[in-house]
A and B are shown apart, each in its own frame.
Chain A
Amino acid sequence: MTPALPAGLPGCVSAPVLRERGQREVFCGLTGIIWLHRKVQDAFFLVVGSRTCAHLLQSAAGVMVFAEPRFGTAIIEERDLAGMADCNEELDRVVDRLLARRPDIKLLFLVGSCPSEVIKLDLSRAASRLSVKHAGATRILNYSGSGIETTFTEGEDACLAALVPELRADHDTAPGLMIVGALPDVVEDQFARLFAELGIANVHSFPARRADAMPAVGPNTRFLLAQPFLGETARALEDRGATRLDALFPFGAEGTTNWLHAAAKAFGIDEMHFRRVIAPGRERAKRAIEHRRATLSGKRVTFLPDSQLEVPLARFLSNELGMVPVEVGTPYLHRRHLAQELALLPAGTLISEGQDVDLQLDRVRAARPDLTVCGLGLANPLEAEGLTTKWAIELVFSPIHGFDQAGDLAELFTRPLRRRDVLRV
């Protein structure tokens, strides 16, 4: 499986990985819809699934469900299971009704779920059939966000990977830069300003904010992953000739510097100019982080698997805030994309991939870290056992990338510890 790595590489590059299979306390890929639908403003995400899927989205999206969301569930019912032809007709009917009610929708994703995958409902065929029917008005694509295939943020990966074949071919001879991964608008704009100042002109975000503004891709496309969970998307982009720029992920002052630097090098930006441009942001980030150092330095932290952000975040906390990672769990470890990150983790950190939640909780209880980063199903029970927790989902929903969010990112980890200190109850 994993190629043998030479021993003696820095940090955790050659560290053995604890691979576990058992009960996994994670979200499925459908959850990605909650932030993707805010990002692509004329897209609608129609899950084809069961009442459980609808209930999951509602529980995860909370009050967002009431803000005229651009997602919904076509709930498979008993009679749909009776015959497949009927199921396709039903789906067409639901889509027709939906598009009639929401004519502003330009891009419709049919999102596969566990039930639709298990009954082998061919959503890709349905998507092409419906694309023909609604040609000119709405493009219809499909991807799977099922729990049997995707974990949490992998839903975004599957969605973007489905979009890649649809991207226009870029015949431009000048190289262009693509930022891959849905980022909050404010962060996207900050990065756009930095790249402009650096002198990299042709910069696009993928996904774009509108369906008809998706970037083109070609052999001259260089892309930076903004998120560590985009394995399939990267591969699909590489299949279309684009080149991935290897870098740390843009968390903290160091991560962001390295990430921007990868682009600057690829685009032949003068080193002195690069340093000058990023200096103010980098300084601000360092100052903001410094405020949190006293609270976090020396504190031991364990990450339970959730979003694949765990490795880069552990690197940030250990390198820039002096925290000590005990165990860094990730649902899936993409060694190639995380090579630089792993090299910067302190040797001796336990890296675990996958999960057997009861065994992992036994390890947490034995190690008693100062901070445990985990999902909402575990956070309160661990707090009740006297373990301080940081709920992980907030790290996906909050702006945490780039220089100007570095302080906020550190603050997210500080708050639970500070709260523990201020409470007198």
Chain B
Amino acid sequence: MQLTVWTYEGPPHVGAMRIATAMQGVHYVLHAPQGDTYADLLFTMIERRAKRPPVTYTTFQARDLGKDTAELFQTAARDAFNRFQPQAMLVGASCTAELIQDDPAGLVEAMGLPCPVVALELPSYQRKENWGAAETFYHLVRTMCAGATAAPRTDTARPRVNLLGPTALGFRHRDDVIEITRLLDTLGIAVNVTAPLGASPADLARLGEADFNICLYPEIADTTCRWLERQFGQKTVRTVPIGHGATRDFIAEVAGLAGVDPAAVLDTSNLPWWSRSVDSTYLTGKRVFIFGDATHAIAAARVARDELGFEVVGLGCYNREFARDLRDAARLYGVEPLITDDYLAVEDAIQALQPELVLGTQMERHIAKRLRIPCAVISAPVHVQDFPARYSPQMGFEGANVLFDTWVHPLVMGLEEHLLTMFRDDFEFSDGAGASHLGHGTAAHTPARPVLEPVADARVAAGGWSPEAEKELLKIPFFVRGKARRNTERYATELGIAAITLETLYDAKAHYAR
């Protein structure tokens, strides 16, 4: 058993729901107890979908347990087919139904429904949401492409590709698809099928007609892309176009496979100039901690170091399926990879590293808030505010612009940083007021609040700090104070110094100044 308060991923059947909800003409019959319908509100509330997810739950209750539940399942499947007339159906069990061992596959096969039915095996006690989504997509594609061969192309004028991976509840999937489709169009490349988002089962049957595949989100589409490689001999573009450099690499890879000239689309991002402008100088070497799904975390690390000039001090992901990719990336930045789905481990890492910026999921946003560290969201899971009304891709050149704005915004702005240091005794710039845009600020006219950390009365405080050293520490701007405290304490421990004095503080400062 694992003690959990917060999970990065839902159970695998939620992954299957993400596929069904993304598509048209698919209906999912889920053998699940009353209550599991909660997952609907992820789609209707977080993503604000205007339609119910195409999912029928059997919602069995205690009194149904026994042989009743199998019949309940068949009735639900039959009713769902009659009501929704799907082109294809998914059937499967949630965690509880997995335990009662009704066999959805066998039950539905016996019914002989007049549409393709994919029976999903999603082991709820081993696997999670992303895996469930990948597996569901893969089996749907296999079923719909059964018997198809790579069709000889009649129209050879425009190269055609499949965009694979975007789903419902995906972080910025909606806008990434628009951005990449537009980019491909400029290159003269047509999108054959985008799937699963917006695709129907009939569309999946046409996947073989493309020249090659673009794996936009490996977490969802990698398994399918590998199968399509084997089945139709289609090559896969694996560069994920998040960031300016990655987008250029992506274009080169795509243009190479399609045999088109990449020149038309290059250099349309503001990021390089924004980043080179002197206003951004203060971003140099800002220590950043990155956590999320592997794809977004790895992409973010490259942008952070190469395009914004940050120092990557921590890199991790919660999805073990992509741990190897993340480890490889961590080596590039010389940091210890953090592969965990325990948010407490992530919190410990952030606390220990004292970064100046955290890039992560909704969870890291809350951790950072608690630790008063600026933060931006780069990956699912996310709350409703990260399904914005405005156009806001992560991919492509416009995505790079979005990344620049999103990541720089939470940082204390350069000038503000100087003001905070120079005028820290002024009440407007006191610790209590904080950075104007971080939301910590109270009314500007309240007198300076008492300092946040109490100065101990004893000659030497509990942590070994003398009162005057403690006082001096408070003169250091709050956004680097944590680091200063930690460095000083580590320095003191290493040298076996029991009481931290003013001298120790500045000795440590000199020691760590590199």
A interface list, Cβ under 8 A from B? 22-31, 48, 50-52, 54-56, 58-60, 62-63, 65-66, 69, 71-78, 80-81, 87, 90-91, 93-94, 97-98, 114-115, 117-119, 146-149, 151, 358, 375-381, 383-384
Q: In the complex, which residues of chain B have a beta carbon less than 8 angstroms from the beta carbon of A55?
A: 7, 10-11, 14, 39
Q: Known A-B contacts: A27-B35, A55-B14. Give 17 more (CB < 8 A).
A: A23-B59, A52-B13, A52-B94, A62-B383, A63-B383, A75-B3, A77-B2, A90-B1, A94-B3, A97-B3, A114-B96, A148-B61, A149-B61, A377-B40, A378-B44, A380-B45, A381-B50
**Is there contact, CB below 8 Å, between A377 and B41?**
yes
Q: Is the CB of B34 within 8 A of A358?
A: no
B157 to chain A, nearest CB (A): 40
Q: Which residues of B contact A62 (CB under 8 A)?
A: 383
> Are B36 and A52 interface neighbours, CB within 8 A?
yes
Closest-CB distance, B217 to chain A (whole angstroms): 20
Q: Which residues of B contact A (CB under 8 A)?
A: 1-7, 9-11, 13-14, 33-42, 44-45, 48-52, 56-62, 64-65, 76, 79, 83, 94-96, 99-100, 123-126, 128, 363, 366, 370, 383
Enumerate chain A residues within 8 angstroms of B33, measured Cβ to Cβ. Answer: 28, 114, 146-148
Asked whether B1 lies within 8 Å of A377 as measured between CB atoms, the reply is: no
Q: Which 7 A-B pairs have the closest CB atoms?
A: A28-B35, A147-B35, A377-B40, A384-B50, A114-B96, A50-B95, A66-B366
Cβ A384 vs Cβ B1 within 8 A: no
Q: Are A148 and B1 in contact (CB under 8 A)?
A: no
When distances are taken between beta carbons in the complex, the residues of chain B under 8 Å from A48 are: 1
Q: Which residues of B contact A114 (CB under 8 A)?
A: 33, 35, 95-96
Closest-CB distance, A234 to chain B (whole angstroms): 21
Partner of B95, one of A51, A65, A381: A51
A51 and B124 form a contact (CB under 8 A): yes
A80 x B51 contact (CB < 8 A)? no
Q: A30 to B363, alpha carbons, bound, how many Å? A: 22
Which residues on A sit within 8 Å (CB–CB) of B95? 50-52, 114-115
A401 to B283, CA, bound (A): 53
Contact between A74 and B59 (Cβ–Cβ < 8 Å)? no
B363 to chain A, nearest CB (A): 8
> Are B48 and A380 in contact, CB atoms less than 8 angstroms apart?
yes
Contact A65–B5 (Cβ < 8 Å): yes
What A residues does B124 contact at CB under 8 A? 50-52
A91 in contact with B1 (CB, 8 Å): yes
Give chain B nearest CB distance to A153 CB in angstroms: 13
| Residues in chain A near residue B125, CB distance under 8 A | 50, 76-78, 80-81
Q: Is there contact, CB below 8 Å, between A59 and B51?
A: no
Determine the chain B residues whose CB is within 8 A of the CB of A383 once the complex forms: 50
Task: Output the least CB separation between A331 and chain B (Å).
Answer: 9
Question: Closest Cβ of chain A: how far from B75's Cβ, in Å?
Answer: 8
Chain A's nearest CB lies how many Å from the CB of B281?
35
Tell me, rounded to whole Å, the shortest Cβ–Cβ distance linking A155 to chain B: 10
Q: A78 vs B125: C-alpha distance in the bound complex, in angstroms? A: 5
- Judging by beta carbons under 8 Å apart, are A26 and B11 in contact? no
Q: Name the contact of B83 in the complex, choosing from A60, A63, A149, A358 (C-beta under 8 A).
A: A358
Taking the nearest CB of chain A, how far is it from the CB of B90, in angstroms? Answer: 16
B123 touches A78 (CB 8 A): yes
Query: Do A26 and B37 touch (CB < 8 A)?
Result: yes
A380 to B42, CA, bound (A): 12
Query: Given A51-B11, A58-B7, A25–B35 Cβ distance below 8 Å?
Result: no
- Cα-based distance from A261 to B233 in the complex (angstroms): 80
Cβ–Cβ contact B5 & A72, under 8 A: yes
Taking CB atoms, residues of chain A closer than 8 Å to B56 are 23
> Known: A376-B44, A381-B52. Contact between A56 and B38, CB under 8 A?
yes
Q: How distant is B97 from chain A, measured CB to nearest CB, in Å?
A: 9
